[in-house]
Amino acid sequence: MDRRKFLQTTGLTLGAGSLPSLVPSVLRAEPPASTPAAAKFPAGFLWGSATASYQVEGAVKEGGRGVSIWDTFSHTAGKTANGDTGDVADDFYHRYPQDIEMMKQMGLKTFRFSVAWPRIFPNGTGQPNQQGVDFYKKLVDALLAAGIEPYCTLFHWDLPQVLQDQGGWESRDVAKAFADYAGYTAGVLSDRCKHFMTMNEMRSFCEIGYADGRHAPGLQIGRKRMAQLNHNVVYAHGLSVRAIRAHAKPGVKVGLADNVEAATPVIETPEHIEAARHAMRELNAMYQTVIQEGRYTPHYLKTLGDDAPHFTQEELDVIKTPLDFVGINLYTAHYVRAADNEVGYVSVPAPESYPHMYSPWLTIGPEALYWTPKLVSEIWNVKTLYITENGCSSADKIAEDGHVYDTDRVMYLRNYLTQLHRGVSEGVPVKGYFCWSLLDNYEWADGYDKRFGIVYVDFATQKRTPKLSAHFYEKVIADNEVK
């Protein structure tokens, strides 16, 4: 059977045109009576996608934007794959109206974006840049006009370089500057945007940027300084929650997007489930645990010894400022098993043969999307959760017929969403899901080699091509269920 006849029998078309052209008729057809029941989500469940400013915007020298640590880092020889930078990225700064139209065609209910701190305060503090403010106002207005609810992240790693020169997150003054920036930005956008996240993935930008040195600002500062930096970051988060509430319009909801270490029982037996419960608190002691509980676990402080951070009770109270919701960024599972030791668990490392996506670190563990929100909700009594990132990298190519058949990503999403539904059906309070990412984009130190988008981007021409995964996701949204 030739390729054309095969595609005809499966309902796929050869055209590479508009968004619906890739949706096969077999997906649109009513399922036969023998098909197992689909995983239906509650009415009103929010389906969305997510991006980040430096990864998509480009226009780094336009609109009064200042220099960020990622501008500096990516332009330093040897720091990124192929020397790639975010100078142009997806050119979202200019192309967001077309991208929003594409989101609307997909049926997205919500969109998570981040504000570039250097667009609002080019020098980190001082006089705000009105051009930057106006850009985000126009972006949010365009989303609302398309019927898409905006969710705003205030820090997704593009720290103003001026502030890094003053000590970066090692400085308490920078923590206070972040609160000032967050409060001001939420204040000017809160007449349009009702959901704000303070920071994205504290663990990532702290540990990869300041301990490993693989991300901006590219430092390796040692354990003692790292412990204090981590404390300064969660303190900055707490200060910013208070600043947002002080400056934003009434009714605004405040949370964060945290890549919690996804403690997952290696086998679902009572002893391993209990081990995962202990692990969730200890593995996240310096981030989510102290934010939720207002204290560091004794084991965490004992492990650090003389390297433990200096802090006051007043700072812990600020860090514990209550949140309206918690966002979870989740890609992989951290498997644990029960153990007769001080913490009640040990980690189970993945064997060399463990399946993973195109990024070597992205091992496949769908059940983490069941256990992580479940444990976060139960341990800390969190009433509203969102999956603020979930997705995967793939070595996507455009086929001869003009389509992108990322069947691996469809497999990944279907399995993870099935596990998410398992939790939601049991009452875990997840209210929405943001697929990472809408577009192939600048993947930090990996440059443009690792593609995470459900929309393919030809970075030479900026042409967008929705992938098979985009049409799979479109179907999930339309039916509010996973099949």
**pLDDT one-digit tens code per residue, 201-211:** 999 999 999 99
**pLDDT one-digit tens code per residue, 180-236:** 999 999 999 999 999 999 999 999 999 999 999 999 999 999 999 999 999 999 999
Total residue count of the chain as it appears in this document: 483
| Backbone dihedral angles phi then psi of residue 273, each to the nearest 5 degrees | -65, -40
**pLDDT one-digit tens code per residue, 108-143:** 999 999 999 999 999 999 999 999 999 999 999 999
As a whole-number percent, the residues of the chain with pLDDT over 70 amount to 92
Whether residue 14 has pLDDT greater than 50: no
Average pLDDT for the chain: 94
pTM given for the model = 0.93
- Beta strands 326-329 and 334-338 are unpaired
Q: Which residues contact 243 (CB under 8 A, 6 or more apart)?
A: 179, 180, 182, 183, 186
Alpha-carbon distances of 119 from 6, 67, 198, 252, rounded to whole Å: 50, 9, 16, 22
Candidates 57, 315, 389, 443; catalytic one: 389
**pLDDT one-digit tens code per residue, 65-88:** 999 999 999 999 999 999 999 999
CA angle in degrees (0–180, nearest 5) for 240-96-138: 55
* Distance, CA of 123 to CA of 210 (rounded, Å): 21
The answer to whether the CB of 42 falls within 8 A of the CB of 430 is no
List the beta bridge partners of residue 346: 337
Q: Residue 348 CB: number of other CB atoms within 10 A? A: 17
What per-residue confidence (pLDDT) applies to 37?
61
Q: Which fold has domain 39-262+280-335+344-482?
A: TIM Barrel (3.20.20)
- Beta strands 463-466 and 385-390 are unpaired
Q: Which residues contact 383 (CB under 8 A, 6 or more apart)?
A: 377, 429
Candidates 57, 149, 170, 201; catalytic one: 201
Whether residue 29 has pLDDT greater than 90: no
Whether residue 301 has pLDDT greater than 70: yes
Q: Which residues contact 214 (CB under 8 A, 6 or more apart)?
A: 208, 445
What per-residue confidence (pLDDT) applies to 38?
75
Q: Is 125 helix (H, G, I), strand (E, B) or coil?
A: coil
The Cβ-side half-sphere exposure at 439, using a 13 Å CA radius, reads 30
* Distance, CA of 50 to CA of 389 (rounded, Å): 7
Whether residue 1 has pLDDT greater than 90: no
Which tokens go with 93? 């700064």
* Distance, CA of 286 to CA of 429 (rounded, Å): 24
- Beta strands 455-458 and 463-466 are antiparallel
The answer to whether the CB of 20 falls within 8 A of the CB of 7 is no
The answer to whether the CB of 207 falls within 8 A of the CB of 156 is no
The mean pLDDT of 403-426, rounded to a whole number, is 98
* Distance, CA of 169 to CA of 364 (rounded, Å): 32
**pLDDT one-digit tens code per residue, 244-300:** 999 999 999 999 999 999 999 999 999 999 999 999 999 999 999 999 999 999 999
The question of whether 271 is a catalytic residue gets the answer no
- Helices 92-106 and 468-479 pack at an angle, to 10 degrees, of 50
The answer to whether the CB of 124 falls within 8 A of the CB of 32 is no
The answer to whether the CB of 138 falls within 8 A of the CB of 192 is no
Query: Can you say whether the dihedral through the CA atoms of 215, 390, 296, 335 is positive or negative?
Result: negative
Q: Is 306 helix (H, G, I), strand (E, B) or coil?
A: helix
The mean pLDDT of 340-354, rounded to a whole number, is 96
The Cβ-side half-sphere exposure at 9, using a 13 Å CA radius, reads 6
CA angle in degrees (0–180, nearest 5) for 330-323-203: 40
The question of whether 201 is a catalytic residue gets the answer yes
The mean pLDDT of 315-324, rounded to a whole number, is 98
**pLDDT one-digit tens code per residue, 32-47:** 444 456 789 999 999 9
